[in-house]
Amino acid sequence: MTSMSRARVARRIAAGAAYGGGGIGLAGAAAVGLVVAEVHLARRQVNNGAHPHVPQAEGRYGLAYDAPGPGKEPLRLTMLGDSTAAGQGVHRSGQTPGALLASGLAAVAERPVELRNVALPGAQSDDLDRQVALILSDSDQVPDVCVIMIGANDVTHRMPPTRSVRHLSSAVRRLRTAGAEVVVGTCPDLGTIEPVQQPLRWLARRASRQLAAAQTIGAVEQGGRTVSLGDLLGPEFEANPRELFGPDHYHPSAEGYATAAMAVLPTVCAALGLWPADEERPDVSRREGFLPVARAAAEAASEAGTEVTAAMPTGPRGPWALLKRRRRRRVTESEPTSRPSTSGV
């Protein structure tokens, strides 16, 4: 599917979500039905979800920066979403995406970071309503930034994409209204789950990218930023499945989560005004720039690690967005800021 075709489909899905339209098929209902059957078979083959292990990573990171004084208060980072946000598939807390992001954010901000994680393995986008309610139950503890990773289970459980995007848009709107910055890691590429064979791999990839593009439109229009997570189960994983998938060949390994965190961290820092100002300007040499939001969403869905954020309120073809291909900076567990406090783990 071309970028322009994906943009048209994404616009239709996002419009349906905004105006309460019915379900719009992703890659055709029959085709998605086959994808769903194959992915569920794959999940049974790898025993996914039978005994989900999610390391406890909540707590305070960046202890080296824990000092009294104005501007030194801990930043609050909260993870929402499904098993990828929770960190299912690894065995150590420091290997989860939340811990990696908290470590990196503490190092960039030179402030401690309090990590909270309300993500639920197996969650679909309709669970975001519950997760957001948990986060906003205490008005004195609103996060500085929330990272949402969601979408894969929506595809495998055949949730209508308009409904999926509607729930995500509502979550972003509620969090932004409460004062939190929001970064959404869009639907990963399901076309590289090892037991899924061609031609269903292609159909799964198409469905995943269509949803990712529509998620981008919905999140950006509500004031959030998005980062394409195609690499989470995408080209890098397809090339190195033994290295970048975990033991169940379904969830990412520690190296895979590090790859995802490395893609998301610059956007988290930028949302909080912590990224270098010269990197906030679009770089033409990296094909960055201002585009209609649907086109930016379609391009981002095709290239993992691409950020989309709102720009001009409107343009000749509707809302516009800034598309950026940020340089990735690796976060390692060995950094002294990567250890949560013992009281929080």
* Closest C-alpha among 342, 202, 326 to residue 264: 326
Bridge partners (DSSP) listed for residue 106: none
Sheet of 181-185: strand order equals: 59-61, 113-117, 75-81, 145-149, 181-185, 225-227, 306-310, 320-325, 289-292
List the catalytic residue out of 144, 167, 228, 251: 251
Residue 98 · residue 40 · CB < 8 Å:
no
List the catalytic residue out of 127, 228, 248, 302: 248
DSSP helix/strand/coil, 59: strand
If one counts every other C-beta atom within 10 angstroms of the C-beta of residue 138, the result is: 8
- What are the CA-CA distances from residue 67 to residues 11, 127, 237 (Å)? 47, 37, 40
Active site residue 251: yes
Active site residue 129: no
Q: Which residues contact 193 (CB under 8 A, 6 or more apart)?
A: 39, 42, 204, 233, 249, 250
CA triplet 83, 341, 343: central angle to 5 degrees? 90
Residues in the chain: 345
What residues are annotated to the active site? 83, 248, 251
